[in-house]
Amino acid sequence: MADPTPTPTPTPAPKAKRQRSTINRKHLNEIANSRAVAKAAADPANAAALAVVEFDATLPTQITTLADTTEASIGKLTGTRAVKTEMTAQETAARDALIAVIAPIQTAARRKFTGDQAEMRHAYFIGEGLAEDTLGEVQTAAIAIRDRLVGTPPQDVLPGIKAAQIAALSNAVTQYATNVTAPGDQQNENAGALETIVANIGKLAGLRHQVQLAAEQAFPWRTPGVASIRKSFQLPTDRPMRG
């Protein structure tokens, strides 16, 4: 005789919430890449060839020191920041409006940075899921993007991105920071720490790039027997470094 008690329907497992890691993932990748390049530059086996191209031997130490400092700052921020899983309607609207201003700039960055330069798209948070991040994180991304486009000369010049678009981004950063209820002291402190981390990551990438350019000169890809050395500097083995 069949068991009259029906088998209960199992409760579906709750969906895991996405951990907001847009900025941190990018940061940690840059720290790891920079350390690897610094290690290759400090290898005594590479010293003679680098000396011939007048390599600045202080760069590996600069990279390691800055990487350590930045990583410690990330750890401290992660430990003190209470990650918000919900935002107010006001914050969500502000975040989405800010992303709308960023989006055309990201499109221009996709056009500019292709092939071997595609890694530079990370500087514009392309493919990093900003739509799932907090308003504060998107603001920090917007500031980092803006800072690459201003200055004399700017770090980057993107196709179709002129003074009007850059001004719109700057205005949006200010507008959506002031139009949303001011955060508490801890959140203000965390926002400042995050901006410092973003700035340091930019410096770290610049130092790494200097080392890689020197290695490109010291170990040209057509030279026999340099493939493994080029890999250690994170350089392509079948073509020259671009950018």
| Three-state DSSP string of the chain | CCCCCCCCCCCCCCCCCCCCCHHHHHHHHHHHHHHHHHHHHHCHHHHHHHHHCCCCCCHHHHHHHHHHHHHHHHHHHHHHCCCCCCCCHHHHHHHHHHHHHHHHHHHHHHHHCCHHHHHHHHHHCCCCCHHHCCHHHHHHHHHHHHHHHCECCECCCCCCCCHHHHHHHHHHHHHHHHCCCCCCHHHHHHHHHHHHHHHHHHHHHHHHHHHHHHHHHHCCCCCCCCHHHHHHCCCCCCCCCCC
| Structure confidence at residue 9 (pLDDT) | 55
Q: What single letter denotes the amino acid at residue 162?
A: K
Q: Which pLDDT tens digit goes with each residue over 103-141?
A: 999 999 999 998 878 878 888 988 888 888 888 788 888
- Rg of the chain on CA atoms, in Å: 22
Q: What is the percent of the chain with per-residue pLDDT over 70, rounded to a whole number?
A: 80
| Pairwise pLDDT comparison (45 vs 176), residue with the higher score | 45
pTM of the model: 0.59
Residue-averaged pLDDT of the chain:
83
| Pairwise pLDDT comparison (215 vs 115), residue with the higher score | 215
Q: Which pLDDT tens digit goes with each residue over 184-212?
A: 454 555 667 777 888 899 899 999 999 99
Q: How far is CA 118 from the centre of its chain?
A: 13
Buried b (16+ CB within 10 A) or exposed e, 37-47: bbebbbeeebe
Q: How far is CA 224 from the centre of its chain?
A: 34
Closest alpha carbon to 122 in 106, 102, 133, 140: 106
